[in-house]
Chain A
Amino acid sequence: MDAAERELLAETFRKTMTASSGCALDAALTELGWTELLAELPDVAIPMTFRLLGETGAQAPLINDVLLNAAGRSLGGTLPLPYAGGSWVVWDRSAGPRPKASTALDGDLPLLPVPAGAAVPLAAGRRALGWWLVGTGRAMLSLARLHALDRVQFGRQIASFQAVRHRLAETLVTLEGAEAALLAAEDDLGSLLAKAAAGQAALTRHCQQVLGGIGFTAEHDLHRHVRRALVLDGLLGSALELTREAGRLLREQRRTPRLVHL
């Protein structure tokens, strides 16, 4: 797939995600060839699709497919997913009325607690969620940037104040860093670190702070992204847990793995 084809496909996916979400989006993406794309070109499919989910604010149960694909199982179903703190959830994808309501902080996500599950291949899933978190972070940065340029106080755009500019700059730094880690992630440890970096980047409070009072209301879109980032961070291990896991590895091995090379 060349660059022009990728761009065209990304545009199609973006439009689809803007028009629908949840089960409807799941069906629409399947129609557009998501499962074939994932099976044939996972390194194209995963970054593009999951980042777009973040940027558009849409959601779909595609993480199931990523893990099923990595496990060599047939796509389209669900499987129990490990969550922070040792819990397990299922990302429901049934089209009909749900068996019970989700109690997730992000009420749009049909995450249902389950007692336990079997081990799942984590690396591809962590990369996918990392891209989603980076996309969510970019969406928040974009909202905060627009607000900073629109909002006038003391007779000036608040974007002209260094305190505001530096918060937005710091947000971009962490997002770009996370994206570099995602692009370089190949093995288990690289994927773990990339998701940790993406979780940290999406959870910085800078964007919400720049948005001031309006960013705290349910009338502005920011809260949707904040909720999503908080919930996605815990899925397949939170930034805190993953960072600690990396530290444990270092302490045990007494050597720092160099994962990327010129």
Chain B
Amino acid sequence: MNVAEFRAGLQAWLAGHDLTPGPDHSLDGQVAQVARVRRALYDAGWMRYGWPAEVGGLGGPAVFRAVLGEEVTTRDLAEPGIYSMVEVLAPTMISYARPPLAHEMVPMLLSGREQWCQGFSEPGSGSDLASLSTRAVPRGDAWVVTGQKVWTSLAQYASRCVLLTRTAPGHDGITALFVDMDTPGISVRPLRTMHGVDEFAEVFFDDVIVPGDRMLGRPGDGWRLAMDLLPYERSTCFWHRIAYLYTRLDRLLAEAAFPLGADTAEADLGAAYLALHVARCRSLATQRRLNEGARLGPETSIDKVLLAAAEQRLYDTVRDLLPGVLELTESPWRAEYLYSRAATIYGGTAEIQRNIIARRLLDLGRE
């Protein structure tokens, strides 16, 4: 099956299976809807393509997953950020978990039976992730974890957590664990965001016992694991998000009344479209390289800067061309606009991306 056949089959299936979200647009509703969509797509096989058989997949190239996410987000079937989380979590498990653990767990994620989270950032370790201090101490065959994570997306819904812990000093002293969120000693406190959604949480670990066979990789592999997952986030997830942003530009075109005159509107719309188009072209090239087996690295920081800038420009244009709408009405544009302000912050700030580009791509030496 090639990409065109996959897409055609998927489109035909989606035409015959109504997965339209219900009226509940709360976060609870969105998480439930993502689970429903994943479950249906998994049961029908679509969600299993592009993943290896060892984790319940049906094989085929990873680009199938990009196509699937594009079709899902283009139809507004699922919130793209939540939907795309598997693209980061599942590859991490495939690369680092013991094969029996990956075999047992990944299908639970892909099929929507479980939601997982990623415990990376801490109150004292944001951009400087490698300074993290949540401690894991060996006790017998197990690890005992103590510390605090923050910005942990969907922690309150998660059954499991891919957790980075400190087991020794330095970058090589970070160890990744796969933790059941119902383990005694874990407490979750959701954080309210400015767009009114409890999207992420603080997670507290108080003498949490994690069995030794839940280690991902070996002791000290945590930093490498964190670096390895970035290219996944920046290939398939980005393709999904760009597809979603195109639907929002379509929506703006349908709703805008062009109050400031056609000329201004055209310049704004053109600039927003150009930025999105450039991000899409770059993401396409990245998808192709991934498909050819290339190992993605620091050059994906360019994709990240282009996408974040395009997203913010798009929503700036929304505000310009729909004056008063997000300020005075409870339109869905309001939350989306506010959320877009975070695009240059989450997943590595725009400044960190530029640091990486300067150091690794332009070879400018140390700061």
With a cutoff of 8 Å between Cβ atoms, the chain B residues found around residue A259 in the complex are: 277, 280
| Tally of contact residues, A, Cβ under 8 A | 45
With a cutoff of 8 Å between Cβ atoms, the chain A residues found around residue B253 in the complex are: 250-251, 253-256
| Segment touching B, from A48-56, A73-81, A173-181, A220-228 | A173-181
Question: A168 contacts B358, CB within 8 Å?
Answer: yes
Question: A177 contacts B306, CB within 8 Å?
Answer: yes
The complex places the Cα of A262 from the Cα of B3 at a distance, in Å, of 8
The complex places the Cα of A254 from the Cα of B250 at a distance, in Å, of 7
With a cutoff of 8 Å between Cβ atoms, the chain A residues found around residue B67 in the complex are: 262
Question: A251 contacts B281, CB within 8 Å?
Answer: no
Q: Is there a chain B Cβ closer than 8 Å to A105's Cβ?
A: no
**How close is B330's CB to chain A, nearest CB, in angstroms?**
25
Q: Is there a chain A Cβ closer than 8 Å to B365's Cβ?
A: yes
Q: Name the residue among B70, B278, B306, B355 with the largest chain A CB count within 10 angstroms.
A: B278
Q: Is there a chain B Cβ closer than 8 Å to A46's Cβ?
A: no
Q: A244-B267, A250-B270 are in contact. Are A162 and B355 (CB under 8 A)?
A: yes
The complex places the Cα of A259 from the Cα of B284 at a distance, in Å, of 11
| Smallest CB gap from B299: residue in A | A176
Q: Is there a chain A Cβ closer than 8 Å to B357's Cβ?
A: yes
Which chain A residues (90-148) contact chain B, with CB distance < 8 Å? 145, 148
With a cutoff of 8 Å between Cβ atoms, the chain A residues found around residue B364 in the complex are: 145, 148-149, 159-160, 165, 168
The complex places the Cα of A162 from the Cα of B349 at a distance, in Å, of 14
Q: Is there a chain A Cβ closer than 8 Å to B327's Cβ?
A: no
With a cutoff of 8 Å between Cβ atoms, the chain A residues found around residue B249 in the complex are: 250, 256
Q: Name the residue among A161, A193, A246 with the largest chain B CB count within 10 angstroms.
A: A246
Q: Is there a chain B Cβ closer than 8 Å to A247's Cβ?
A: yes
Q: A184-B284, A197-B274, A259-B277 are in contact. Are A168 and B269 (CB under 8 A)?
A: no
Interface flags for A229-258 (1: CB within 8 Å of B; 0: not) read: 000000000001011111110110111101
With a cutoff of 8 Å between Cβ atoms, the chain A residues found around residue B280 in the complex are: 258-260
Residues of A contacting B: mostly: helix
The complex places the Cα of A211 from the Cα of B274 at a distance, in Å, of 29
Q: Is there a chain A Cβ closer than 8 Å to B239's Cβ?
A: yes
**How close is B303's CB to chain A, nearest CB, in angstroms?**
9
| Smallest CB gap from A170: residue in B | B354
Question: B273 contacts A256, CB within 8 Å?
Answer: yes
Interface flags for B266-303 (1: CB within 8 Å of A; 0: not) read: 11111101101111111011010000000000010010
Q: Is there a chain A Cβ closer than 8 Å to B262's Cβ?
A: yes
Question: A243 contacts B270, CB within 8 Å?
Answer: yes
Question: B270 contacts A246, CB within 8 Å?
Answer: yes
| Smallest CB gap from A141: residue in B | B362
User: Which of A145, A170, A177, A183 interacts with B279 by CB under 8 Å?
Assistant: A177
Q: A162-B367, A168-B358 are in contact. Are A177 and B281 (CB under 8 A)?
A: yes
With a cutoff of 8 Å between Cβ atoms, the chain A residues found around residue B287 in the complex are: 262
Chain A residues at the B interface, C-beta cutoff of 8 Å: 145, 148-149, 157, 159-162, 165-166, 168-170, 172-173, 176-178, 180-181, 183-184, 193, 196-197, 200, 240, 242-248, 250-251, 253-256, 258-262
Besides the known contacts A242-B270, A247-B265, A260-B280, 9 further A-B residue pairs in the complex with CB atoms under 8 A apart: A162-B367, A165-B362, A166-B355, A176-B302, A243-B274, A247-B271, A250-B253, A250-B270, A255-B250
Q: Closest 9 CB pairs between A and B? A: A247-B270, A247-B266, A165-B358, A247-B269, A243-B270, A169-B357, A169-B354, A180-B281, A180-B282
6 A–B contacts, CB within 8 A, in A order: A162-B355, A193-B274, A243-B270, A246-B269, A251-B258, A262-B3
